[in-house]
Amino acid sequence: MAKVYLFLANGFEEIEGLTVVDVLRRGGVEVTTVSITGKKQIMGSHKIPVEADAVFEDEHDFMDADMIVLPGGLQGTNALMAHEGVRELLYYYRNEEKYVAAICAAPSVLGMNGLLHGKEATCYPGCEDKLLGAVKSSKPVVQDGKIVTAEGMGVSVEFALKLLELLQGVDTARKIGTGIRFYR
C-alpha cells in the first residue's frame, strides 16, 4: 500500500491539507497527518481545529513513505520552512527519488531549500520569488519528475487527484475523481 506523510503547522490552509488526505484515503493510500507543533491539535488558517494523527517529535522515522506533502497557508508555510526536521526529510526524499508535493505558498519551502533547480514549478501568485532556481509555470498543477506543485486552494482536488494518480495509477484517480464528480 502506498504511504504518505502530510505535515501540518498552525495556520495551514485547511482545504489544501484535508482535501489531499480525503482523496488519497478514498484511493486506498495510507496517509498520516503529522503535526510539527509538538501537539496533536493544529489550528488551521481559518480557525478550524484539526487533530493530527501523529506528532513529529514522537515519531522516530518518516523515511518509509512514498511521498511527503506540504499544504500551504502563509503561517503554516513559514513554520514548515523553519522546521529543521522537515528540511532534512525534504533532502532525504529528493535524494531517494521519492515524491515531494507542495501547494499554494508551500512550494516556496522547496525553492528556498534548493529542491527546484531546473524544475518546472508553480505556486500561489506572489510567492514566485521564493521558487529559487525553478522554471516558473502558470499551470495550476505541475509535475516535474518527483516534484509536484500546485497554485492553491482552488486546485486542491486536481492536485490531490494528481498525487493519487502517481501513487495508485490513472484508473484509480479517474475512479475517485468520477465518484466525487470532478470528472464527468
State the residue for C-alpha cell 464528480. Answer: 181
Q: Which of 101, 104, 131, 141 is catalytic?
A: 104
- Average pLDDT for consecutive 10-residue bins of the chain (184 residues)? 98 98 98 98 98 91 95 98 97 97 98 97 97 97 98 98 98 96 78
Amino acid at 50: V
Strand spans (E) along the chain: 3-8, 30-35, 41-43, 49-51, 54-55, 67-70, 99-103, 120-121, 135-136, 141-144, 147-150
The pLDDT score that the predictor gives to residue 90 is: 98
Pairs from 113-119 (Cβ < 8 Å, separation ≥ 24) = 113/87, 115/90, 115/91, 115/147, 116/147, 119/144, 119/145, 119/147
Domains of the chain: 3-179 (3.40.50.880)
Count how many residues are written for the chain. 184
Left if phi > 0, otherwise alpha if psi is -120 to 50, otherwise beta: which for 152?
A: left
pLDDT at 182: 81
Q: What is the pLDDT of residues 74-108, one digit of tens each?
A: 999 999 999 999 999 999 999 999 999 999 999 99
Catalytic: 127?
Answer: no
pLDDT given for residue 113 in this prediction: 97
